[in-house]
Structure 1
């Protein structure tokens, strides 16, 4: 068991710009698909992998962490219902109370898989170093492969990768009436316009919102 707090970083270069999910029905279909794979797994290892992949999506959608921070999460980072990590890219701190339903899902996942506080949430390969076995987290390349494979399975026909989880959080937050200024702080962005470009909020979204607004006398 590794008890170091040092975060292992592997960068994935050459990735095309990814896009968020903009349809809640598609988002729900994806999560139900992952749950179905977990429930119908034919072996313990397949069941664990399906469970891990479901939680990767669920936590990614709900925390909006960058890929390198998401993959490095350990149990102790989230098990108490509060998150406090230092972002690898910016050096800034993410410190917030977790949604209760998400926290409950994480606790159940940890219990199901007998994870210890220092275990990585998304375990990958086991390696033996000087006679000791270490289980490392899935790296960015594997994470991208998992996410893009699931996207294909549910019929997503646009570029969808690890950062799509973070972008989907932001898009859905704005879609549900969240304030862009607040989202900017959640993302730890320094520029309001960067945040709007990041979540791919475009002309079609603006026109849809415009069509839904009427300011005037309405019949009761």
Structure 2
């Protein structure tokens, strides 16, 4: 499995928001909720409209069955409300516009590969390498850590890690620290 990194540059994050917003409100909101919630892509895909209507979302994580509570970031609230207006509460927030090939069902969530494709297209546009579905989650952690290093304990818990070294490596800080230390060597 390839190693993916967080998006470290706030200017690129803002650029990607604009990039997605100009092309697709669904993809814009997917990206924003991903970088503001710390959810895995598999959990983002199963969000329903009714969950997005309140200020807080409670989600049972698919992978580890932990209950995750996160706030809808105020910067996307108006766009999200506009996006879900007229949709039924039980609809998937990030619904596919196509009929599923095998099941022939409509109104199903987009597939992980679809999310990867539109995220990766934007990453290429911005010259990002080592990009993947976990990049959004890692970006959330990276930004939270840089906001205040005391948030490390919160991140360890939120990611379900047992050791801070795992968390630091997961959000790309181990490599950042190694690079910085190397540059300071005489």
Same fold (TM over 0.5): yes
Instruction: Give deviations 1:58-87, integer Å, cap 9, x for gaps.
Output: 110101101110111111122111211111
> For residue 184 of structure 2, what is the aligned residue in structure 1?
none
Q: Secondary structure at the match of 1:136?
A: coil
- C-alpha distance 60-97 of structure 1, shift in aligned 2 (>3 A): closer
> For residue 75 of structure 1, what is the aligned residue in structure 2?
49
Q: Secondary structure at the match of 2:153?
A: helix
- How many Å apart are 1:123 and its aligned residue? 1.2
- Structure 1: give runs of 5+ residues left out of the alignment: 1-14, 38-49, 210-220
Q: Is the 8 A contact 2:21 2:27 kept in 1?
A: no
Instruction: Give deviations 1:179-205, integer Å, cap 9, x for gaps.
Output: 200122222333322211110103534
> Does the alignment pair 1:198 with 2:184?
no
> For residue 57 of structure 1, what is the aligned residue in structure 2?
31
Judging by fraction of residues, say which structure has more strand: 1
> For residue 137 of structure 2, what is the aligned residue in structure 1?
166
Tell me whether 99-108 or 70-79 shows the greater mean CA deviation. Answer: 99-108
- Structure 2: give runs of 5+ residues left out of the alignment: 182-186
Q: Is the 8 A contact 1:79 1:103 kept in 2?
A: no
Q: Is the 8 A contact 2:33 2:72 kept in 1?
A: no
Instruction: Give deviations 1:80-132, integer Å, cap 9, x for gaps.
Output: 11211111110111124433334343222212xx322111111114438xxx9
Instruction: Give deviations 1:147-181, integer Å, cap 9, x for gaps.
Output: 1011112222x121111000011111111224200
> For residue 119 of structure 2, what is the aligned residue in structure 1?
147
Q: CA–CA distance in 2 between the matches of 1:167 and 1:36?
A: 24
- How many Å apart are 1:32 and its aligned residue? 1.6
Q: Is the 8 A contact 2:37 2:70 kept in 1?
A: no
Q: TM-score, normalised by structure 2?
A: 0.84
- How many Å apart are 1:21 and its aligned residue? 0.6
- How many Å apart are 1:35 and its aligned residue? 2.2
> For residue 60 of structure 2, what is the aligned residue in structure 1?
86
Q: CA–CA distance in 2 between the matches of 1:203 and 1:140?
A: 27
RMSD (CA atoms): 2.5
Rg larger in 1 or in 2?
A: 1
- C-alpha distance 106-133 of structure 1, shift in aligned 2 (>3 A): same
Count of equivalent residues: 178
Judging by fraction of residues, say which structure has more helix: 2
Q: Which of 71, 74, 87 is the equivalent residue of 1:115?
A: 87
Q: Is the 8 A contact 1:22 1:168 kept in 2?
A: yes
The aligned runs of 1:167-186 (5 Å cut-off) are 167-178=138-149, 179-186=151-158
